[in-house]
Each structure stands twice: as structure tokens, then as C-alpha cells.
Amino acid sequence: MSQSSVLFQLSGQSLSYGDHRVLDNISLQIHRGEKVALLGPSGAGKTSLLHLLYQQQPERVALQPQSGGLVDLLSVYQNIFIGGLERVRTLPALWNLVRPLAAHRQGIAELVQTLGLEDKLWQSVDRLSGGQRQRVAIGRALYRQQPVFLGDEPVSSVDPLQAELLLEYLLEQHETAVVSLHNRQLALNHFERIIVMRDGRICCDCPARELSEQRLDEWYQQESSLLAPSPVQETDGWAMVRS
């Protein structure tokens, strides 16, 4: 892949909160067109890494944070519309929040139908289930209409079939995607590259076709002490830490 297609680049980057180091010496390149799954146990640093990536290209990214970031008292329509605010001038944007403009109304209604929420369009999101709220957050990310999707467990609250379909749709609609997941099977089925993190480090970065669910489980089960720096094995241009 050419250097000009590099979208995100981290070189020996670390991140600490006070004296707690949460990312340790991360080096990484992500190219335009790649679909990357980010795996690793809770607290491994996936969210922190996504935020570092986001800071590199905020204007080209649709970010779906783990919390969803919805405004509780606003409707499904209004929450999704917020995703496209940057495309709308201030006055029409304010007007649209009170009285939906036809152009936005149609686009959002279509999106909401794709998400299976058509009967909830005017309902405030504080009255939705966790899975429904997550679909609204997906709708808002899609309505940003950006080429890059950064998702932090974007389908963790929906049922397994919906998770497959929604993830597939998100990947289709974005040229490049980096998505943190806990579901290893979703990662293996839908992504071409998998990065596994542990204790703030990347312990595996390789093509999904070289991995299995069992192999991924091993990284979740290993004790931290087993992850002391160890020799790096080069496989087909990808770095894999020997365990």
C-alpha cells in the first residue's frame, strides 16, 4: 500500500491519565479503504486508541462513542439530524429542530426505516430500549456522511442478527472503518484486519484470515504477566507478538 493512502499514523505513541499509562508505545498505520476490528479485554485501551485516531482526522470521521452520546429529551429525528448539523447553516438548523424541513425529513425517515425504527421517529430517545438507542446512534453516525467510521462497540446492545446486518451496513457505507468489538466472531466475519490490544499495547495486528476464534480467545485469557515485551515475528508484512 502506498504512503499516500495512509489515513491514520501513530509512531510510538503513549497516553497516560495522571501516572496511569493506558496506551504504551503504539505504532500503527491505517490506510484508506481498510476495515479494521479492534479487540481486547475490557480496559485494554481500545476507546483510548479510537480517540487518538479521531483527533487525527475529526473532520472526516463519523464517530460512534460507546455511550452513544444521545440527547435524551430530543426525538429520534432530532438526534439523527444532529449528525448532519455541519452541512446546514445555523438558522435552517435551528428551524429544522422545531419544524423539520422536507429535505432532511425525507432522508432521515429513510434512514430510520433502514434501522427498523420508523414507528419511533418522533419519540424522545429517553423512552427507547438500549438496543433502540444504539440504532439511533448508528443513524446519527450514518447521517454525518463521512468517509471514515470510528465505532466503539457500535452494535453491542442489539440482538445477534441485527448486529450482523447493522455492522455490514456501516461497513458498506464507509470507505474506511476502525471498530472496537467484544464479539470475536463478528470481527472474523466482517473485517479483513484485526488488532488485539492488551494492557495498553498492541499484541496482535494481522489479517483476519490468519486468526480463529480460539486463537483470539487465548489473548483474552492470557495473564498480563505473559504479555511482557517479547520478540516480534514478521508475518507477511504484519507484526505479530509471539506468545
Least distance in angstroms from the C-beta of 224 to ligand ATP: 12
Between the CA of residue 188 and those of 79, 114, 126, 156, 195, what are the distances in Å? 31, 24, 34, 16, 11
194 binds ligand ATP (CB under 6 A): no
Nearer to ligand ATP, 38 or 241 (CB): 38
**2 or 17: whose CB is closer to ligand ATP?**
17
Q: Which of 2, 11, 42, 221 binds ligand ATP (CB under 6 A)?
A: 42
Q: Which residues contact 64 (CB under 8 A, 6 or more apart)?
A: 137, 138, 140, 141, 149, 150, 151, 152, 154
Q: Does 45 bind ligand ATP (CB under 6 A)?
A: yes
Minimum Å gap between C-beta 5 and ligand ATP is 27
Q: From CA 77, how far away is CA 121, in angstroms rounded?
A: 5
What is the sign, positive or negative, of the torsion defined by CA atoms of 188, 204, 28, 209?
negative
Per CB under 6 A, does 22 bind ligand ATP?
A: yes
Q: From the list 26, 34, 35, 40, which residue makes contact with ligand ATP (rule: CB under 6 A)?
A: 40
Q: Could you tell me which stretch among 17-25, 91-99, 117-125, 188-196 binds ligand ATP (CB under 6 A)?
A: 17-25
Find the binder of ligand ATP among 9, 48, 145, 157 (CB under 6 A): 48
* Region from 44-52, 77-85, 90-98, 143-151 binding ligand ATP, contact rule CB under 6 A: 44-52
Identify whether the C-beta of residue 33 lies closer than 8 Å to the C-beta of residue 176. Answer: yes
> Which residues are CB-contacts of 36 (< 8 A; sequence separation ≥ 6)?
30, 177, 178, 179, 191, 192, 193, 194, 195
Check if the beta carbon of residue 172 is closer than 8 Å to that of residue 147. no
Residue choice 4, 11, 17, 90 for contact with ligand ATP (CB under 6 A): 17
Q: Count residues near ligand ATP (CB under 6 A).
A: 12
Query: What is the binding site for ligand ATP (CB under 6 A)?
Result: 17, 20, 22, 40, 42-48, 66
